[in-house]
Amino acid sequence: MGLPWGIMSDVDQLHRTVAYAAVAGTLLALGWTVAVLVTGRGGGQRLEALQSAVVGIVAIGAVVGLVLLLTGHAPNDPIHLLYGFLVVAAIPFARSFGPRVSPRGRVVLGLVGLVAVGLFLLRLFMTG
């Protein structure tokens, strides 16, 4: 038994809005991370906080997507669910290797995680 369509339309719009915010946050974090690597300056806690914010935004999108799923509104392609999991896990997975590398290596790991997030977001938009 799903929620009334008007409410679901609002939830669907929230899901889309959060997805666009995730793209914007990812692009901002990618730009900053590349700038840090090019200039040789440390990204520090602010860069890590931005990466964590990107994870938070995509996690909110995933929760809203789960609400849609649990109320009978499945994505167009079931693989969307896999990409939803991967986009949330990409940055934490990349950062999990951080204690084993140099500070610059941690920035590179963050870049790898952000590139993965960007690619997974692209696929999420493609699978609807």
Residues of the chain whose pLDDT is less than 50? Answer: 1
Q: What is the pLDDT of residue 1?
A: 46
**Distance from the Cα of residue 100 to its chain's centroid:** 24
Alpha-carbon distance of 51 to 119, in angstroms, equals 15
Could you tell me the two tokens for 63? Answer: 């929760």
Helix ranges, 40-78 (H): 44-70
Q: What is the pLDDT of residue 4?
A: 58
Q: What is the pLDDT of residue 43?
A: 74
Nearest to 48 by CA among 116, 101, 113, 115: 113
Q: What is the pLDDT of residue 24?
A: 97
| pTM for the structure as a whole | 0.87
Q: What is the pLDDT of residue 128?
A: 80
Q: What is the pLDDT of residue 6?
A: 65
